[in-house]
Amino acid sequence: MQNQYDIPAMGFGTYGRNGEAGVEAMLVALETGYRHLDTAQDYGTEAQVGEGVRRSGLPRSDVFVTTKIRTSNLREGTLVPSLRQSCETLGLEQLDLTLIHWPSPNNEVPLPVYIEQLAEAHALGLTRLVGVSNFTIAMLEEAQAILGDLRIANNQVELNPLLQNKKLANYCTEKGISVTCYLPIARGILGGVPEIVDIADRHEATPEQVALAFEFAKGYIAIPTSGKAERIRSNFEATKLTLNAEEIRVIEGLDRGQREIDPAWGPDWD
């Protein structure tokens, strides 16, 4: 499952996957078939991701690596050095995708300041693709105007059956911006949603697999995570699950706008 940017749709989130246990979880993911590791400067897992890629024995070109720029590195003159440091920590010459993790809190740093630096990082070859995370439609439009011919490849946002972010996701799809879902399995609470349990039972699947299959059916990328080998493998089975049109329609009706990540300094969501 790919998209116009060849970003593997099934990614492995690395938030909380610290230390040797974190490396082991990434190795299980890579052995299982995941080919996309998602990290961030704020996660403190870049070193583990690099170690996982090296110890997996897979060619570098086989593993898609994403990192995200922390908000303290958005000021003038700080983004590019921080990304060089990320590459060094990862042990990689180039990222596949670099995202702005959050818009500058309370617009403390004007958006053009860090978007222009993101373009500079791309021009220097530090990252193959550029994108953003937690950006609204207005912010995406402003950023794309600054970037010109350099396309915003991805917007990573909270998205799952209980928070479908339809207005924003539809805008991204229309504009050729791939969507990555974080918290794609809603922190494991979907087992309490009868409609999802019914669909899961029909497919002899888990509620989490149904959520991921729904996201893939919509053309999205998803980055679930777990420290448990059996859960890592179970989530990957969602790549083999196909939902029918009626099941997708039922899940589309479950949107509650139930947002989990909503800092006071965050953007005004669409």
Q: Is residue 119 part of a domain?
A: yes
Q: Which candidate in 5, 15, 34, 43 is catalytic?
A: 43
User: Vertex 235, ends 230 and 236: CA angle to 5°?
Assistant: 100
Q: Is residue 159 part of a domain?
A: yes
Task: Say which CATH number the domain at 21 has.
Answer: 3.20.20.100
The ranges of the chain with pLDDT < 50 are none
114 given a catalytic annotation? no
At 35, is the secondary structure helix, strand, or coil? coil
User: How buried is residue 204: exposed, middle or buried, by Cβ count under 10 Å (0-12/13-18/19+)?
Assistant: exposed
pLDDT on residue 2: 57
Calculate the alpha carbon distances from 29 to 77, 143, 190 in Å: 36, 33, 22
pTM to 2 decimal places: 0.97
* 220-261 per-position pLDDT tens digit: 999 999 999 999 999 999 999 999 999 999 999 999 999 999
Q: Is residue 267 part of a domain?
A: no
CB 100 within 8 A of CB 132: yes
pLDDT on residue 4: 87
Which residue range(s) make up the domain with 112?
12-185+220-225
